[in-house]
């Protein structure tokens, strides 16, 4: 915190560029950031929802109906029912990641909205937590929308599928936190293509979204246990298909670890970027 003597009267004027400490001041300040983003989003809510749902819906019906005629049944259900659960999980990853990258980068770097917010009594931690939970909220909205469509068409079993909502929320926080690390490192929008191509696309193909993990070589199956999307799929699919879930604690622990560690790393990187 810097101090400067006023030009007259010897008064002291206190200024600060960003509030400290780094961490959120309390458990409610982030809601102001969340609400600010919601107020902006609701003006374009319908186009935004269509954009978020278009890609997973194309996968669901294009691959589900097309390949479903060739593949037949997978794990005892129709291929489109198998794909519906995987698409729900993948849509959570896509929605949370894109919001934490492109939209958050715009507010941080282009519009400099974060700087304006941090001149209020909010820390960088409050802003980042609000951004991450906002991205997770959009991910939940996207995942729930696909789940409801799948249920209406008979590809998900209600009300048991609703038990997947906490998993969707936790996965949304994990993917939003991971993407926030990329945002902290990004010099421009083009940088996000590296993360999409080198991380998100392989994760999409290797996490059981489109085919059972048992079809992969043993070594690759072991490697998939490090992928957060694989654990999200492992929880969401049986819940949507009304089947027992194996190793619930392990899957939840991995997603929670990704969320917590990635959020801390993102905060540290963003502090270095914003306060330098």
Whether 149 is in a domain gets the answer yes
Tell me the C-alpha distance between 150 and 115, whole Å: 42
Output the pLDDT for position 183. 96
Query: Using N-to-C axis directions, what is the helix angle for 124-152 and 248-274, rounded to 10°?
Result: 140
Output the pLDDT for position 226. 94
Residues of the chain whose pLDDT is less than 50? Answer: 1-16, 18-19
Output the pLDDT for position 192. 96
Whether 10 is in a domain gets the answer no
What does the CA dihedral 114, 180, 83, 81 come to, rounded to 10 degrees?
-50
Output the pLDDT for position 159. 85
Output the pLDDT for position 20. 55
Output the pLDDT for position 39. 93
pTM: 0.87
What b/e readout covers 188-220, taking b as 16+ CB neighbours within 10 angstroms?
eeeebeebbeeebeebbebbbbbbeeeebeeee
Q: How many structural domains comprise the chain?
A: 1
Output the pLDDT for position 194. 95
Per the structure, the complete domain to which residue 264 belongs is given by 21-274
Whether 60 is in a domain gets the answer yes
Whether 129 is in a domain gets the answer yes
Whether 186 is in a domain gets the answer yes
Output the pLDDT for position 276. 66
Output the pLDDT for position 46. 80
Whether 168 is in a domain gets the answer yes
Whether 6 is in a domain gets the answer no
Tell me the C-alpha distance between 18 and 122, whole Å: 9
Output the pLDDT for position 69. 65
Whether 187 is in a domain gets the answer yes
Tell me the C-alpha distance between 128 and 183, whole Å: 11
Q: Under a CB-based contact definition with an 8 Å cutoff, are residues 209 and 86 in contact?
A: yes
Output the pLDDT for position 21. 64
């Amino acid at each position: 915190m810097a101090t400067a003597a006023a030009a007259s009267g010897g008064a002291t004027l206190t200024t600060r560029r960003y509030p400290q400490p780094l961490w959120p001041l309390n458990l409610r300040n982030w809601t102001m950031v969340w609400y600010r983003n919601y107020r902006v989003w609701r003006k374009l809510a319908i186009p935004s929802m269509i954009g978020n749902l278009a890609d997973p819906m194309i996968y669901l019906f294009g691959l589900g109906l097309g390949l479903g005629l060739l593949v037949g049944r997978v794990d005892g259900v129709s291929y489109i029912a198998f794909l519906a659960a995987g698409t729900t999980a993948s849509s959570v990853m896509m929605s949370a990641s894109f919001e934490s990258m492109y939209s958050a980068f715009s507010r941080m770097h282009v519009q400099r909205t974060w700087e304006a917010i941090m001149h209020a009594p909010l820390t960088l931690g409050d802003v980042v937590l609000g951004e991450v939970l906002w991205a997770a909220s959009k991910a939940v909205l996207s995942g729930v929308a696909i789940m409801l469509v799948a249920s209406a068409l008979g590809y998900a079993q209600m009300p048991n599928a609703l038990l997947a909502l906490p998993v969707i929320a936790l996965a949304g926080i994990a993917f939003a936190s991971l993407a926030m690390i990329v945002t902290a490192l990004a010099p421009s929008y083009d940088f996000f293509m590296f993360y999409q191509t080198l991380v998100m696309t392989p994760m999409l193909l290797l996490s059981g979204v489109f085919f059972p993990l048992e079809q992969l070589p043993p070594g690759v199956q072991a490697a998939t246990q490090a992928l957060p999307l694989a654990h999200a799929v492992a929880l969401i699919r049986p819940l949507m298909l009304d089947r027992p879930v194996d190793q619930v604690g392990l899957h939840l622990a991995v997603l929670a670890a990704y969320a917590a560690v990635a959020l801390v790393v993102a905060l540290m990187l963003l502090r270095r970027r914003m306060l330098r």
